[in-house]
Chain A
Amino acid sequence: MSAQEPTVPGAVRRLPPSAVLPARTPVADAPWLAPLRQTGEFFILAALVVRMTFKRPFQFRELVEQFWFVASVTILPAALVSIPFGAVIALQVGSLLQQFGAQSFTGAGSVVAVVQQASPLIVALTIAGAGGSAICADLGARTIREEMDAMEVMGVSPVQRLVVPRVLAVTGVAVLLNGLTSVVGVLGGYFLNVYVQHGTPGSYLSSFSALAQLPDLYISEIKALIFGFLAGVIAAHRGLNPRPGPKGVGDAVNESVVIAFLLLFVVNVVLTAIYLQVVPAKVA
């Protein structure tokens, strides 16, 4: 160290040699609090997305492009998944009800299972898996290439410019897609019931309309909306905070899908519980 002492007095201004910073708020830096910090950041981002949605200028072009993109990667998988899903529910419920001699109520089973549960979940899984992962990878790659920094320095908020259109696109596609999967799922159940299990079309439809009520559709769409929003914000959050390097982006995409799946099922339980408490079941 002695070699560094200035040989000419005042040649270079020396700063006090206390090279070690006093440990700053050690609790907040604790590694076991990392999940909490991440959760906090997630909620901040979610709130920011909501706030920035109403801030001008609105990125309409980006929204349309993202909407198109997310829809194009999710419609086919969602439809293809919902056919066997509806069919399998009809099969299971149908064979169960058959034992009670109540096969004519298979249609009712499809309402409860497909519209309320299966459809929003199928939407959530395809949205998070196909749309969210692509968004996370895109944002993550941009982050590690300092594009986000560059954008911020140019006085443009990446959240407003990039994240808001993506989250809105994912949410919007989720809501619309939910209608599609509901219909396709119920149709899948119908065809299986009518053509494979030899149920009668009339009993399927009448039991369907006997138990179905509009709130079933509402909660289904509300679920899709919330799932879509969560999947979008999770993808954006992971994409904006990857660990450095290409591997960090890969990990971030992985995390975003896993976290989204876990969270969606938990949120689904909560929403279903609330729905069952709030909306009285229709008596057939």
Chain B
Amino acid sequence: MALTRPLEWRLLGKRITARRTLARERLRAPTPVKAGLQMGIEVVVEGLSKSFGRSPVWHDVTLTLPAGEVSVMLGPSGTGKTVFLKSLVGLLKPERGHVFVDGTDIVTCSERQLYQARRLFGVMFQDGALFGSMSLYDNIAFPLREHTKLREREIADIVMEKMGMVGLAGEEAKFPGQISGGMRKRAGLARALVLDPQIILCDEPDSGLDPVRTAYLSQLLIDLNAEIDATILIVTHNIQIAATVPDNIGMLFRGELVGFGPRELLLTSDEPVVSQFLAGRRIGPIGMAEEKDLATIAAEQAQVDSGHHDGGTAAPDLRIVTQLDPTPGMPPRQAVQRRKERVMSMLHTLPPAAREAILDSFSGAAAGPGMSAGEAAGQGMDAAGAWGGER
């Protein structure tokens, strides 16, 4: 691979040396395991409202993605999860509200500030959004070539490392059109990671992936968080991810943020929308169409009462599924301690069920990593936790 493109490298080398010099220092050595040197950045969303023409998508969304923690935004299809994600990086302009990232308001800042702020982000798009005219190698090297003065040898090191990380080693020369959707997705993730972003946004990382690959991806995201302590937001409707990965869960429904808080808050919630969604039942306020009237709800309830299947498949005891730990050998997640302090300080504001679950989880974690790893192996959901060591 490395030997097939010397001419291009020389050309690129010339071009890159002519590049601006600022902001390249953010770039780290090819091996990025320097946990603790940097920390994820908090993303504060205040009163955000977005509509397309006359149709509102969601309104008045207020939440804070805590620094260095993993958050998941749930919601049925078509509730504007992707729109929310795109609003966070300024690809869409909400009409009202603010998104503060590192002191910059993404909604109102100038184009120049926006481009600066975007360097903090790594975004994995729904279909990978790879450049169709470039090979996977060039796709993943693209941010490095655009933003750094690294030599092509160093770029190759980083690219190969990231490709190995997402399980695409050996596929460098392929083009996005030649690979499966799941591979495109993983390549998109690798590309999002090459500049070691401080905020990682994943748009439905699971769609098009089988449950096993989803579990691997979940583990990858957790390991990533342990390694670089990045703030991660995953937008998804996958319950497997929602139950095992995040520190915090939020949910969008009918144009509103139903809630956002520590994972236990939503996993133990009795809110019909949330419990219906987590269980994957037909019974509840979420319908096939956006609106579901009371008559439909009653009719469906009558069907279920008479013995008809409610469609649900998820385990009813989702609330006791433990969160993933980093693969053994990885540094511990720094977010865990920060989160513990943060959650304990807000404990009195939470409902009893969530409070109990949180205290349970902390007492489990206090028993030591060996204990929690054992627990994790016992959970069917945590396949990645058990297999992760083989990587």
- For residue B62, give the distance in angstroms from its CB to the closest CB of chain A: 8
Residue B131 at the chain A interface, CB threshold 8 Å: yes
Contact of A149 among B91, B143, B284 (CB under 8 A): B91
Contact assessment for A61 and B259 in the assembled complex, using a CB-CB cutoff below 8 Å: no
- For residue A14, give the distance in angstroms from its CB to the closest CB of chain B: 8
Residue B306 at the chain A interface, CB threshold 8 Å: no
Binds A, one of B234-242, B269-277, B314-322, B357-365: B269-277
A23 to B49, CA, bound (A): 12
Residue A266 at the chain B interface, CB threshold 8 Å: no
Contact assessment for A154 and B273 in the assembled complex, using a CB-CB cutoff below 8 Å: no
A237 to B263, CA, bound (A): 44
Residue A283 at the chain B interface, CB threshold 8 Å: no
When each residue 1-22 of chain A gets 1 if its CB lies under 8 Å from chain B and 0 otherwise, what string results?
1111011111111011011110
Interface majority SS on A: helix, strand, loop or mixed? Answer: loop
Identity of the chain A residue whose Cβ is nearest the Cβ of B116 in the assembled complex: A155
- For residue B132, give the distance in angstroms from its CB to the closest CB of chain A: 7
Report chain A residues within 8 Å CB of B256.
Answer: 15, 19
Contact assessment for B51 and A12 in the assembled complex, using a CB-CB cutoff below 8 Å: no
Please, how many residues of chain A have a CB less than 8 angstroms from a CB on the other chain? Answer: 40
Report chain A residues within 8 Å CB of B91.
Answer: 149, 152-153
Residue B102 at the chain A interface, CB threshold 8 Å: no
When each residue 45-63 of chain B gets 1 if its CB lies under 8 Å from chain A and 0 otherwise, what string results?
0000101011010011000
Binds A, one of B33-41, B119-127, B164-172, B218-226: B119-127
Identity of the chain B residue whose Cβ is nearest the Cβ of A10 in the assembled complex: B351
Given A19-B59, A23-B54, A155-B115, the answer on whether A145 and B127 have CB atoms closer than 8 Å is yes
Residue A41 at the chain B interface, CB threshold 8 Å: no
Contact assessment for A155 and B118 in the assembled complex, using a CB-CB cutoff below 8 Å: yes
Please, how many residues of chain B have a CB less than 8 angstroms from a CB on the other chain? Answer: 62
Report chain B residues within 8 Å CB of A16.
Answer: 60
Residue A60 at the chain B interface, CB threshold 8 Å: yes
Residue B89 at the chain A interface, CB threshold 8 Å: yes
A153 to B129, CA, bound (A): 11
Residue A142 at the chain B interface, CB threshold 8 Å: yes
- For residue B289, give the distance in angstroms from its CB to the closest CB of chain A: 15
Contact assessment for B129 and A154 in the assembled complex, using a CB-CB cutoff below 8 Å: no
Contact assessment for B95 and A146 in the assembled complex, using a CB-CB cutoff below 8 Å: no
- For residue A32, give the distance in angstroms from its CB to the closest CB of chain B: 14
- For residue B97, give the distance in angstroms from its CB to the closest CB of chain A: 12
Residue B339 at the chain A interface, CB threshold 8 Å: no
Residue A156 at the chain B interface, CB threshold 8 Å: yes
Identity of the chain A residue whose Cβ is nearest the Cβ of B273 in the assembled complex: A4
A183 to B257, CA, bound (A): 67
Contact of A4 among B86, B195, B272, B350 (CB under 8 A): B272
Contact assessment for A4 and B271 in the assembled complex, using a CB-CB cutoff below 8 Å: yes
Report chain A residues within 8 Å CB of B126.
Answer: 146
Contact assessment for A20 and B56 in the assembled complex, using a CB-CB cutoff below 8 Å: yes
- Within residues 233 to 270 of chain B, which ones have a CB less than 8 A from any CB in chain A? 254-261, 265-266, 269-270
Contact assessment for B129 and A146 in the assembled complex, using a CB-CB cutoff below 8 Å: yes
Contact of B86 among A1, A18, A142, A149 (CB under 8 A): A149
- For residue A167, give the distance in angstroms from its CB to the closest CB of chain B: 18
A238 to B320, CA, bound (A): 52
Residue B281 at the chain A interface, CB threshold 8 Å: no
Identity of the chain A residue whose Cβ is nearest the Cβ of B176 in the assembled complex: A145
When each residue 8-31 of chain B gets 1 if its CB lies under 8 Å from chain A and 0 otherwise, what string results?
000100010011100000000000
Contact assessment for A149 and B95 in the assembled complex, using a CB-CB cutoff below 8 Å: no
Report chain B residues within 8 Å CB of A61.
Answer: 11, 15
Identity of the chain A residue whose Cβ is nearest the Cβ of B118 in the assembled complex: A155
What are the 5 closest A-B residue pairs judged by CB atoms, nearest first? A12-B259, A150-B129, A146-B129, A8-B351, A153-B123
Contact sample, A vs B, 25 pairs, CB 8 Å cutoff: A1-B285, A2-B294, A3-B272, A3-B294, A4-B271, A9-B351, A11-B270, A12-B266, A12-B269, A13-B257, A13-B259, A16-B60, A19-B256, A21-B49, A21-B59, A24-B95, A147-B132, A149-B129, A153-B118, A154-B142, A154-B191, A155-B116, A155-B146, A156-B143, A157-B115
Besides the known contacts A4-B285, A60-B15, 9 further A-B residue pairs in the complex with CB atoms under 8 A apart: A8-B270, A10-B350, A12-B258, A57-B19, A61-B11, A61-B15, A145-B127, A149-B129, A155-B146
